[in-house]
Amino acid sequence: MTIENQFPIGKQEKSLFDADKVRMHLNHIVALPALLEASVKDLNENDLQQTYRVGGWTIAQVVHHVADSHMNAFVRCKLILTEDKPNIKPYDQDLWAAMPDVTHVPINHSLTLLYALHTRWYELLKGLTTEQWSRVGIHPEHTEPLSMWDILCIYSWHGRHHAHQILKWKESR
């Protein structure tokens, strides 16, 4: 598999806070549910059970994963904004992707959840001050604390990354 298929929009890279880029990243957050929904448009149940790459999750698992991941990120943001350097609990994404709510629930439920979640997330983030963007949480899988800015950059990329994996798969079939 080529890097282009695994990372169709490139790998996520850490960047320093940039007030001019906040709006772009917030726009990605608010637009993600529609982009993800468009990526699965016209796919049937058989399509949703296909993997987007060898060894990857099914398309349905990817959609549910985005919802799971972004719910966790939203909660992490609220913890960081309301607590002093909170510990951020990781979770096993592969185990979550194999749970019954992923394997038995239609993806439209996760898409609906993402529309509501991203509306709330956007409202939470859009008025943050520079000081609030620098607030941090401690994640055991990262060598440095994660700032609100880091989280915005990661999840602005994350949803688009998965939507484009699905779109790339659609193009290749």
Task: Look up the CATH number of the domain holding residue 115.
Answer: 1.20.120.450
Share of the chain above pLDDT 90, in %: 86
Say what the pLDDT of residue 1 is. Answer: 45
How far is residue 40's CA from residue 170's CA, in Å, rounded to a whole number?
9
Q: Which of 52, 69, 59 has the alpha carbon at shortest distance from 103? A: 59
**For the chain, what is the domain count?**
1
Asked whether residue 58 is domain-assigned, the answer is: yes
Asked whether residue 12 is domain-assigned, the answer is: no
Rounded to the nearest integer, the mean pLDDT of the chain is 95
Say what the pLDDT of residue 5 is. Answer: 66
pLDDT in tens, the chain (173 residues): 444 567 888 888 888 899 899 999 999 999 999 999 999 999 999 999 999 888 899 999 999 999 999 999 999 999 999 999 999 999 999 999 999 999 999 999 999 999 999 999 999 999 999 999 999 999 999 999 999 999 999 999 999 999 999 999 999 88
Say what the pLDDT of residue 88 is. Answer: 96
What are the start-end ranges of the H helices in the chain? 3-6, 19-40, 45-48, 59-82, 93-97, 100-103, 107-125, 130-133, 148-172
Asked whether residue 145 is domain-assigned, the answer is: yes
pTM for the full predicted model:
0.94
- Supply the range of the domain harboring residue 142: 19-172
Asked whether residue 28 is domain-assigned, the answer is: yes
